[in-house]
Amino acid sequence: MRKIYSLLLLAMTSVSFGQTFYSENMGTTASGNPVITAYTGFQNPSPIVYSGTGDMRTSTPSTGYVGASGSVNVFLSDTTDANEYFQIDGLDTSTYIAANLQLKFAYQANYNTTPANAVLIVEYSTNGTTWTSLTYTPNANASWNLITIGGGVIPSSSTLSLRFTQPNLVGAQIRIDDISLSSFDPSCTLVLGIPTTVCDASTLSLDTYTATIHYTGGGSGSYTITPSSGTVSGDNPGSVAEGDIIVSGVAENTALTLSITNGTCPYQSIITSPECKPVNPLPYLESFPYTVGGSLNAEQKWTLVNTGDNITIAAGSLAYPGITASGNSITFVGTGGESRTLFTSTNSGFVYASFIMTASDLTNVTNDLANTYFALFTDNAGATTNARLWIRKNANKYQYGLGTAGSPTAWDPTLYNAGDIQYVVLSYNFTGNTLSLFINPTVGGSAAPTISVTPATAFANLGGFMFRQENANNTPNIIADELRIEVTPNFTLGTQQNEITGLKVYPNPVSNGTLFIETAVNGEKTVIVYDILGKQVLNTTTSDNAINVSNLRDGVYVVKITEEGKTTARKLVIN
């Protein structure tokens, strides 16, 4: 049985031995191979500064050595700039003894390293001007290799910089990952692995998570383990040679620092919080009732994908006949990160995603007729699925397209002026393997698809929706509002969905606690009401026309009515 062992709070000093005091694994996501200077996914914030002429990639991830992070790496090539380089400034080694300093980095090269000049150039500087080369044994193969440089060659300095340079060989491609600086003491044998995290729950509230840190090199000594938050359990490195240290109950959005000491040997592991965000039930209604100017990705329904500026909350709502808007809206333009939300995985029937939107400004779009997709379905794992809604500038107007691959298959010929408002519906029919786009259907009325395409491969499931930014030259300023994801549409589809004959739902808004539902049959009907989060708040079967909704709080709801096998949904407002 694993036991929880006592913790001792320590006043840690900056002078230490056997400690990795700087570590950089280059982050986890690098969409579009951003250049180093535009990449925002590095682990270390200011005063560490990253620069260079290379770019960041997820291709050929690091592997094959202890501590390989296996994700984003720096890519240096001679194809665009001679002697491409990667530079790190702001490193402070002044409190460490130079004789004990070690630099570790992993690199992979695709060329024969036998020629003397075919070696990645590694240098340091203490003033940013004068650079001194560091010697090491280069890779003997094209695999990832972990390089260690130490023994008094790296100085103690409060202004240390490191630079890694491609040796200007034609076709030479070099990848760099997992750079670290440590103060090494042979008596400090504990080695901490890359931590893993798992959410204890995923709800619309802030949750907690558990971190697991694998270690080797234990088995003797007295270790004091101090987390910045949470409770420690698992294996004790003082008595177990190899095992797992577990920290549980850490608050979501809170980074965890785990400090371990054994005599004069301190160790530290810094763990980033996972996002513990839920899968939203259907029907899913999103009116963006968040703080104006805030990031959409900061909300519990949404998560950031890729890097760049966030989609933000805009003041006010967009209007469309038949839809009662509430809350605020979202806005985005140009290069930036995507916002993804997950919903109940669906693999049969239909899935619909509808929202009100406008391309409010086209002046930044310099590429006429350049294709860019800005909204799409994903599978239930959140990976991109090619169910894409496209937009492009056409002279001084814009139009919509639909496609399932790297370019749209069909374009709606209708052109819209900047600021025109549309109600757009993206749908997928699992039975017929048809992706359809409806533009400006009548809410509560009937509509035929504006355009439809057939994916080359049918989708196994859909469980996510994403708003996407591409680049400043192609993406207009977009405002979107009142997102609704459902397995039934907000309008009828002729023979595909039968309207309840003579249906009347009134008053709307309801202010006196009674909702009236009338039909031509006025037979027994099932009435289900969902709140804006998709939670069922009322379920009744009745032949009466009057429905008591006095227990519902003021707000926006969806009422779903079923009579004689026909089902219709309406938006409902309670005042």
Q: What is the mean pLDDT of each run of 10 residues along the chain (575 residues)?
A: 27 42 91 90 94 92 88 83 86 88 90 55 95 88 87 92 86 89 80 91 93 94 94 96 97 93 83 92 95 94 83 94 92 86 94 96 88 92 84 93 89 93 95 92 86 91 93 88 92 57 88 92 88 78 92 86 78 85
Contacts 24+ apart (CB under 8 A), 360-364: 360/331, 360/418, 360/419, 360/476, 360/477, 360/478, 360/479, 361/333, 361/418, 361/476, 361/477, 362/393, 362/396, 362/397, 362/398, 362/418, 362/476, 362/477, 364/333, 364/334, 364/472, 364/473, 364/476, 364/477
* Residue located via tokens 């094959």: 64
Instruction: Please give the single-letter amino acid code of residue 102.
Output: Q
Distances (CA, A) of 555 to 186, 441, 449: 65, 25, 31
d(CA 307, CA 489): 33
- Which domains are present in the chain? 19-183 (2.60.120.260), 191-271 (2.60.40), 284-494 (2.60.120.200), 498-574 (2.60.40.3080)
- Is residue 395 left, alpha or beta, with left meaning phi > 0 and alpha meaning psi from -120 to 50? left
- Radius of gyration over every alpha carbon of the chain, rounded to an integer in angstroms: 29
Tell me what pLDDT residue 268 has: 86
Q: What are phi and psi of 99, to 5 degrees?
A: -65, -20
d(CA 490, CA 499) in angstroms, rounded, equals 11
Pick the closest to residue 260 from 278, 247, 273, 279 (CA basis): 247
- The answer to whether the beta carbons of residues 162 and 123 sit under 8 Å apart is yes
Look at the alpha carbons of 124, 130, 136, 141 in this order and tell me if their dihedral is positive or negative: positive
Residues whose CB is less than 8 angstroms from the CB of residue 276 and which lie 6 or more positions away in sequence, other chains included: 199, 200, 201, 202, 203, 206, 207, 208, 209, 252
What's the pLDDT score for residue 244?
97
What tokens appear for 55 in the block?
């770019």
Residue 428 CA to residue 385 CA, distance in Å, equals: 12
Q: Which residues of 32-67 are buried (b: 16+ CB within 10 A; e: fewer)?
A: eebebeebebbeeeeeeebebbbbbbbeebbeeeeb
- Give the per-residue pLDDT at 17: 39
Whole-model pTM: value is: 0.58
So what's the pLDDT on residue 197? 95
- Reference 259, options 280, 232, 238, 219; nearest CA is 232
What spatial distance separates the first Cα and last Cα of the chain, rounded to whole Å?
57
Query: What HEC string does 450-491 produce?
Result: CEEECCCCCCCCEEEEEECCCCCCCCCEEEEEEEEEECCCCC
